[in-house]
Structure 1
Amino acid sequence: MEDVKQSNTGSLHLVVFPWLAMGHLIPFFHLSKLIAQKGHKVSFISTPRNLHRLPKLPPRSPLSSLITLVPLPLPRVENLPDDAESSNDLPYSKQQLLKRAFDLLELPLAAFLESSSPDWVVYDYASHWLPPLAAKLGIPRAYFCCFSAACMAFLGPPSLLIDGHDARTKTEDFTVVPPWIPFKTDMAFRYHEVAKYVHDNVYGTPDTVRFGVAVRDSDVVLMRSSDEFEIEWFELLRELYGRNKPVLPVGFLPPPVDEEPTRVKDWLDKQQVNLVVYVALGTEATLSQQELTELALGLELSGLPFFWVLRDPPESTQSVSEMLPEGFVERVKDRGMVHFGWAPQVWILSHDSVGGFLTHCGWNSMIEGLGFGRVLILFPMLNDQGLNARLANNKGLGVEVPRNELDGSFTRDSVAECVRSAMVDDSGEMVRKRVMEMKSTFGDRNRNGRLENEFISFLEENMPKRLA
């Protein structure tokens, strides 16, 4: 049971409003729990279906009286499916429709803010309209960033993003290190990481502007990272954002381990310690038929046990099970489990038999894997994932699957080689050692507690004058 400690400065009321993606909803919920543990009240606002997806607080938990889930029905827009309330409910090509509906939450959220008069609003990058709204109401604003400091530094200063002065307009422009990064690094996208998922902005405000406004109009930027891990990137961010803009690491918010699932546990319990590769590629990107085939056959060729989570692509007419190579599941059944649908990722990563994590390099997933000391096998697909892969590789925490720079293609042999290097071969020994050295940085609650306490103290000390 969580301990609740009463704040020395009086109880605050915070409104927390994440973007409609599980990789944002979950960290925002973890952040809300930390705030509530200090005796502050949280109104966590999202759509009804997304609130239902959040981890459940135990009925007798003291946090249940401090965290209130506030549902705001998602407005309907043309061509957006009625049951789509999260990015994992849609193919990537329809994400802009979800942002269009999300932006229509401005009026109901404004009404809630006016009626509840919170002491802080904690928001995400997508709600570019929220900071000026909160400022008008006199509510302090905290931008909680679910991306790495390196990723945000690559984007650049807010003025560049907002005013349209960014000279990067073509795919090739994002494959080189931007000029404002003063030290030697390969922090840039591969061509296929950008080109494959570039879509015309069919509605409204570009993401670059959303990011810029989120930073510029905040009173503080909270980063889900640590200055110990990304010291050079935090120093650069503070230069890019201006020395008057507080940029505070909140730590990695290590997640609690889920309740153990019987079927999954039974299979993992039979495997050798540190030898299973956990394979999960997130909820937004989808593999083509060729990519799925090469990945499957690569796992088979590696000769190592694996647990692979697969889900049917949204709006697809073909199930992912039908896309697997003929006879694959039968051939690997003695050492590989293919799991269709949702799986308890945190619990699986915590199991002693798991040694590696073949991941799409979402920041949330990487943090979870590293927090349990799992070697990363890097397979970035979209959004910030390519930059996260560069960061992990530069820090010696993973092995990246080599891919064609232009089209992203790869071979089964390269998959098998990377898996074996990360897990058992001598070539990956230094990576495995480095991951274990960093395990406590990502996963130790006491070590992360210092940063957690510092950012909550900032919120308490910068509360509105009416409560001071």
Structure 2
Amino acid sequence: MDAIVMYPSPAIGHLISMVELAKLILNHRPSLSIHIIVFDPPYDAGSTAPYINKVYATIPSIIFHHLPTITLLPSIISSCQIPETLTFEVLLLNNPNLHQALVSISNNYTIFAFIADFFCYAAQSVTAKFNFPTYEFFTSGAGCLSLMLCFPTIHKNTTKSFKDMDNLLHIPGVPPMPAKDMPQPFLERDDNVYQYFLDATIQLPRSAGIIVNTFESLEPRAVKAMTDGLGAPDGPLPPLPPLYCIGPLIASDNRGGSSHGGGGGDSDSKPEYLAWLDTQPIQSVVFLCFGSLGRFSAEQLKEIAVGLERSGQRFLWVVKNPPQLDTDLDSIFPEGFLDRTRERGFVLKSWAPQVEILNHDSVGGFVTHCGWNSVLEAVCAGVPMLAWPLYAEQRCNRILLVQELKIALPMVESENGFVSSTEVDKRVREFMNSEEGDSVRRQTKAMKNEAKAALNKGGFSCVALFKLFESWKLK
């Protein structure tokens, strides 16, 4: 039987993107078997077991293979400031286990291709011993990919850490990028994670092709820069293998149903937040949600609460407890906040079905951490963004969303990353009641139509997918 093997990074957002790629492939080539090799990271990357079990139970053509757990020395774990370092450490140690898994799969299947997450670059030294091509899957956008591809050249041209640089970086296809807005793991040149990412970006062009979770009409300048091999003063692009922009790949939430959610049934069966949304005017609600790992200090949560109350805008806010603090929300918020905002606000603790809420008619704006999955979900729902990056490559994404794609307005933080209640109030008002807000709203709705067109027969992403199949000799 013919098979494709996939190797995602363990973070839940990366795993979901890889599974969505698997589903897309199976929709067009249902005779294939897809094998996803997973492993546990030595830190909390978000629980993946319930998600894997659900996929396993509903899509028999997707088979999961769990690699043995790697135990890192306590000294390595305690010395790491950035979780991505530990992911790279485990990936390197996992290569013998990966080799064994591929041998086992090869005994019963003909493997046509191996697709590795960008983080899993070390797998190429293993897959080179087999008779199938290896592709890189880049779960962020084309603008961020262009930055990654230029990283080795930028590294050669300077001896400073990005955190100590005040200049702009000129990268093909994206606006000038402040050095301090480079992805968080890139900022300190002497950190181990910097070297891991440097190795990963050097390896990218050596793959048989790069699959990107974007669509050409969303990021035309960045895609053109890479396909045309354009150069720039700070970062000439290396010769690239074929680029396959096959997005937007987004996951549907656990609940099905219409834009008013709920998975059917009468209104009494709806979750409280959906029933509340149903009572709000169209496009009047600001939705605040910051991803599976996005947490704020108690002090920052108070500032958000004060800013939202002052703004007078309707809001639905998903709140996680601050790190190492398990307490009632009433004790974190200003006294009486929940009572005073009860008519125009709804606070939801810990989790929400983001796609379902974004597609609700009442939602008119999305305050987001700029994770790429969330960006694509907002685009597909036609909901503009207020960009508040927290970690990883999210500061780069903010520049792209605000300056290049023009589908977001920026939240402006202080030097230490703190956002005042005054800023929250000002930006939320501007977002919902200004010409700037209306402009990004119009642009996002236009991109929603472009996203739909890209996936239709003859669309950019559909054509790219079939070119990918041709490279695998799949008819």
Instruction: Please indicate the TM-score interval, normalised by the length of the shorter structure.
Output: 0.7 to 0.9
CA distance 1:168–1:276, shift in 2 (3 Å):
farther
CA distance 1:460–1:366, shift in 2 (3 Å):
closer
In 2, the alpha carbon distance for the partners of 1:380 and 1:241 equals 26
Match in the other structure for 1:188 = 178
Is the counterpart of residue 24 in structure 1 residue 14 in structure 2? yes
- Note the alpha carbon deviations across 1:408-456, whole angstroms, 9 max, x for none: 3332122112112222334422222222222122356744873443343
Q: Secondary structure at the match of 2:48?
A: helix
Match in the other structure for 1:53 = 51
In 2, the alpha carbon distance for the partners of 1:80 and 1:52 equals 31
Q: Secondary structure at the match of 1:382?
A: coil
Where do 1:146-165 residues align within 5 Å?
146-157=139-150, 159-160=152-153, 165=156
Match in the other structure for 1:311 = 320
Which of the residues 338, 359, 368 maps onto 2:368?
Answer: 359
Question: Gapped runs of 5+ residues in structure 1?
Answer: 1-10, 83-90
- Answer whether contact 1:268 1:353 (CA < 8 A) is retained: yes
- Answer whether contact 1:177 1:185 (CA < 8 A) is retained: no
Q: Secondary structure at the match of 1:123?
A: strand
Match in the other structure for 1:233 = 222
- Note the alpha carbon deviations across 1:16-39, whole angstroms, 9 max, x for none: 111111221111111000111122
Farther-moved stretch of structure 1 (203-212 vs 106-115): 203-212
- TM-score normalized by the length of structure 1: 0.83
1:281 deviates by: 1.4
Where do 1:250-289 residues align within 5 Å?
250-259=246-255, 260=262, 262-289=271-298
1:385 deviates by: 0.8
Match in the other structure for 1:171 = 162
Is the counterpart of residue 123 in structure 1 residue 116 in structure 2? yes
Alpha-carbon RMSD across the aligned residues, in angstroms, is 3.3
Q: Secondary structure at the match of 1:144?
A: strand
- Give identity over the alignment, percent: 24
In 1, the alpha carbon distance for the partners of 2:346 and 2:339 equals 10
Farther-moved stretch of structure 1 (226-235 vs 271-280): 226-235
Q: Secondary structure at the match of 1:128?
A: helix
Amino acid at match of 2:347: V
Q: Secondary structure at the match of 2:54?
A: coil
In 1, the alpha carbon distance for the partners of 2:8 and 2:90 equals 14
1:320 deviates by: 7.6
- TM-score normalized by the length of structure 2: 0.82
Q: Give runs of ≥4 in structure 1 deviating > 6 Å.
A: none
In 1, the alpha carbon distance for the partners of 2:452 and 2:174 equals 29
Match in the other structure for 1:402 = 412
Amino acid at match of 1:307: L
Which of the residues 36, 51, 60 maps onto 1:44?
Answer: 36
Q: Secondary structure at the match of 1:56?
A: helix
Where do 1:2-13 residues align within 5 Å?
12-13=2-3
Amino acid at match of 1:126: F
- Note the alpha carbon deviations across 1:173-205, whole angstroms, 9 max, x for none: 665432454x78333355698599869635795
Amino acid at match of 1:52: P
- Answer whether contact 1:157 1:212 (CA < 8 A) is retained: no
Amino acid at match of 1:280: C
- Note the alpha carbon deviations across 1:318-377, whole angstroms, 9 max, x for none: 448343333322322222122112211111111111111000111110110121111101
- Answer whether contact 2:67 2:97 (CA < 8 A) is retained: yes
State how many pairs are aligned.
439
Where do 1:106-117 residues align within 5 Å?
106-117=95-106
In 2, the alpha carbon distance for the partners of 1:219 and 1:94 equals 28
Question: Gapped runs of 5+ residues in structure 2?
Answer: 41-46, 230-235, 256-261, 263-269
CA distance 1:97–1:457, shift in 2 (3 Å):
same
Is the counterpart of residue 220 in structure 1 residue 209 in structure 2? yes
- Note the alpha carbon deviations across 1:130-169, whole angstroms, 9 max, x for none: 01211221220111101121112223437538xx625263
Is the counterpart of residue 377 in structure 1 residue 375 in structure 2? no
CA distance 1:95–1:427, shift in 2 (3 Å):
closer
1:66 deviates by: 1.6
CA distance 1:77–1:457, shift in 2 (3 Å):
same
- Answer whether contact 1:291 1:410 (CA < 8 A) is retained: yes
- Note the alpha carbon deviations across 1:200-249, whole angstroms, 9 max, x for none: 63579522322331x13310011111222212111222325545511121
CA distance 1:175–1:287, shift in 2 (3 Å):
farther
